[in-house]
């Protein structure tokens, strides 16, 4: 066999060996230290379902659903990251923003049924003042939503609304 053919054969064998080695590394099971325990040794644990929202929030949600269900998809308690995508050339700034908003859930999201794009977010406002850190995070989320072209509507939990007033606030009022 010519010298060039033997070199080519050895190169091919070496390449295949490297591929199999990398596959073996990527597919091998995790070490014991990094595995997450799937069973609990405690017999005192109790897991129960909890409500998605308070009774006041449910009342407002049902009102929003009545006002908007003929026009938009009405979704509840979605994470902000499900609604927006953040791209930035400064990777550190993007990561900092993502850490700030990743734990926030939106009260009600209204999406266009055809494009599935979020059109409006409804925020339920409580009467009492929140923790300043939570308030600051809410302002950041509002800024991100506005930058994405998403309308924000704030409804007070302790106020009563009619279906017509909610439709008007959501921009769904029929013009006469």
Q: Which residues of 87-103 are buried (b: 16+ CB within 10 A; e: fewer)?
A: eeeeeeeeeebeebbee
- Percent of the chain past pLDDT 70, that is, above it, reads 86
pTM strictly above 0.85: no
Q: Name the pLDDT band for 175 (thresholds 50, 70, 90).
A: low
**Higher-pLDDT residue of 1, 29:** 29
Interatomic CA distance for residues 148 and 37, integer angstroms: 39
Q: Please state, in angstroms and rounded to a whole number, the distance separating the CA atoms of residues 32 and 50.
A: 33
**pLDDT over 70 (residue 54):** yes
pLDDT digits (tens, 9 = 90+) for 95-141: 999 999 998 999 999 999 999 999 999 999 887 766 788 888 889 99
Query: Where does the pLDDT of residue 30 fall: very low under 50, low under 70, confident under 90, or very high at 90 and above?
Result: low
């Amino acid at each position: 066999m010519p010298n060039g053919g033997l070199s080519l054969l050895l190169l091919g064998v070496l390449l295949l060996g490297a591929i199999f080695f990398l596959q073996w590394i990527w597919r091998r099971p995790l070490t014991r230290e990094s595995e997450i325990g799937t069973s609990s040794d405690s017999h005192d644990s109790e897991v129960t379902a909890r409500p998605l929202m308070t009774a006041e929030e449910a009342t407002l949600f049902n009102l929003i659903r009545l006002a908007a269900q003929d026009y938009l998809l009405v979704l509840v308690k979605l994470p902000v990251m499900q609604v927006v995508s953040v791209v930035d050339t400064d990777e550190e700034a993007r990561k900092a923003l993502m850490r700030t908003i990743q734990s926030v859930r939106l009260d009600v999201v209204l999406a266009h049924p055809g494009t599935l794009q979020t059109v409006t977010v409804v925020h339920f406002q409580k009467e009492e003042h929140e923790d300043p850190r939570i308030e600051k995070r809410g302002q950041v989320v509002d800024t991100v939503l506005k930058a994405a072209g998403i309308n924000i509507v704030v409804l007070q939990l302790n106020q009563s609304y009619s279906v017509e007033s909610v439709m008007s606030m959501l921009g769904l009022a029929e013009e006469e």
